[in-house]
Amino acid sequence: MKIIVDNKIPFIREAAEHVADEVVYAPGHEFTPELVKDADALIIRTRTRCDRHLLEGSSVRFIATATIGFDHIDTEYCRQAGIQWANAPGCNAPSVAQYLHSVLLLLQMKRDKPLAGLTLGIVGVGHVGSLIAEVGSDMGMKVLLNDPPREEQEGPGRFCPLSQLAEESDILTFHVPLVRTGNYPTFHLADEDFFRSLRRKPVFINTSRGEVHDTQALLSALAEGRIADAVIDVWENEPDIDRNLLQQALIGTPHIAGYSADGKANASRMALTAVCKFFGIKPDFHIAPPKPLNPVITAANETEAYLQMYDPRRDSEALKAHPEQFEQLRGDYPLRRERQAYLFRHV
């Protein structure tokens, strides 16, 4: 069996070579019809567009994306061609929650008082949004949830309309997939009308997909004072991102909210396990992230401890200094571990 693997997927090499007879590694944007023509499976990230152009005439039977999102896979073409695929739902949800937790702590520091009592509006309540709701509740915030697909399935009660979040939220954070058609499209969900409907000058956060917000509408909202700040991890036209938005954002990062080593290991493990399941191979491999260089964190309080563990200002400063290095900063992202990897000591 031959597998083509995106060479930026971490911790997977030894495991993949234990599973397949031949493994070829290539940059995600360099997957070509010639490269994949005799492959049985692909393990990809968002940088590889899997469509008719890439796949037609190939021997590919299975695609595993080591990501939550799968809008880079032409699922209709794959259905027609008999190519099955799998994503990695929830793989990096704790990593995004870590990012949001640190962002909320920075916002708390900026206002010099607790966020308790403020309203956190969460748009999209899947694996990630559910964890963010827990973070907000633990910080004493009132949490409003918006998720029309879930509300349709589960009934009213837990969920609020987007208009209510726009009216009542002090902080708005988006955790939706990119959906362009159907009953609940999310493409440009945060558009000019949305920003004009805001009532409390909230902080706007997007860690889902860049196309969920309309960049020009967001810039106008910042210029007109309709939002207090923007925290942007995902961008339209990545990696050719809007430099103006980057410089105006309170925090602007290169699509790395879900890039903890723990989340990456989860995604790699889920992708390779899916390949094994499809081909009837026993998943006899081990994938785990390395230990942090300094596993003991000494701090005076929880805020200091969590920001030692992960401070998104570092990633923001690096991107603002070198926006042309978006792909490099993302592809060569340094080791970042989640809470369970550390021992906290109070001083």
Q: Are residues 101 and 248 in the same domain?
A: yes
- Average pLDDT rounded to a whole number, residues 181-203: 97
Instruction: Flag whether 142 is in a domain.
Output: yes
The pLDDT tens digits for 20-75 are: 999 999 999 999 999 999 999 999 999 899 999 999 999 999 999 999 889 999 99
Instruction: Flag whether 291 is in a domain.
Output: no
The pLDDT tens digits for 112-149 are: 999 999 999 999 999 999 999 999 999 999 999 999 99
Give, for 149, the enclosing helix (H) or strand (E). Answer: helix 148-154
SS (HEC) of 169-184 = CCEEEECCCCCCCCCC
Phi/psi of residue 263, nearest 5 degrees: -65, -40
Contact 107, 171 (CB under 8 A): yes
The pLDDT tens digits for 172-185 are: 999 999 999 999 99
The pLDDT tens digits for 281-308 are: 999 999 999 999 899 999 999 999 999 9
- Average pLDDT rounded to a whole number, residues 96-112: 97
Q: Considering the chain, what percentage of its residues have pLDDT values greater than 90? A: 97
Instruction: Flag whether 182 is in a domain.
Output: yes
Q: Are residues 332 and 192 in the same domain?
A: no
Instruction: Flag whether 289 is in a domain.
Output: no
Query: Domain span at residue 313?
Result: 296-346
Phi/psi of residue 112, nearest 5 degrees: 60, 30
What are the structure tokens assigned to 33, written together?
């019809």
CATH number reported for the structural domain that contains residue 239 in this entry: 3.40.50.720
Q: Are residues 231 and 125 in the same domain?
A: yes
Instruction: Flag whether 162 is in a domain.
Output: yes
Q: Are residues 105 and 212 in the same domain?
A: yes
How many domains are contained in the chain?
Answer: 3
Instruction: Flag whether 239 is in a domain.
Output: yes
The pLDDT tens digits for 244-266 are: 999 999 999 999 999 999 999 99
Instruction: Flag whether 287 is in a domain.
Output: no
Q: Are residues 159 and 50 in the same domain?
A: no
Q: Are residues 83 and 177 in the same domain?
A: no
Instruction: Flag whether 25 is in a domain.
Output: yes
Which residues are the active-site residues?
209, 238, 255
Contact 101, 94 (CB under 8 A): no
pLDDT at 19 over 90: yes
pLDDT at 331 over 90: no
Secondary structure E strands in the chain:
2-6, 22-26, 41-44, 62-65, 84-86, 119-123, 142-146, 171-174, 203-206, 229-232, 251-252, 296-299, 343-346
Instruction: Please give the pLDDT value at position 141.
Output: 98
Contact 98, 315 (CB under 8 A): no
Q: Are residues 101 and 208 in the same domain?
A: yes
The gap between the terminal CA atoms of the chain, to the nearest Å, is 55
Q: Are residues 264 and 330 in the same domain?
A: no
Q: Are residues 202 and 337 in the same domain?
A: no
- Average pLDDT rounded to a whole number, residues 312-318: 98
C-alpha 42/C-alpha 60 separation (Å) is: 7
- Average pLDDT rounded to a whole number, residues 100-105: 98
Instruction: Please give the pLDDT value at position 326.
Output: 97
Q: Are residues 239 and 122 in the same domain?
A: yes
Q: Are residues 115 and 246 in the same domain?
A: yes
Q: List beta partners, residue 44.
A: 65
Instruction: Please give the pLDDT value at position 268.
Output: 97
Q: Are residues 177 and 204 in the same domain?
A: yes
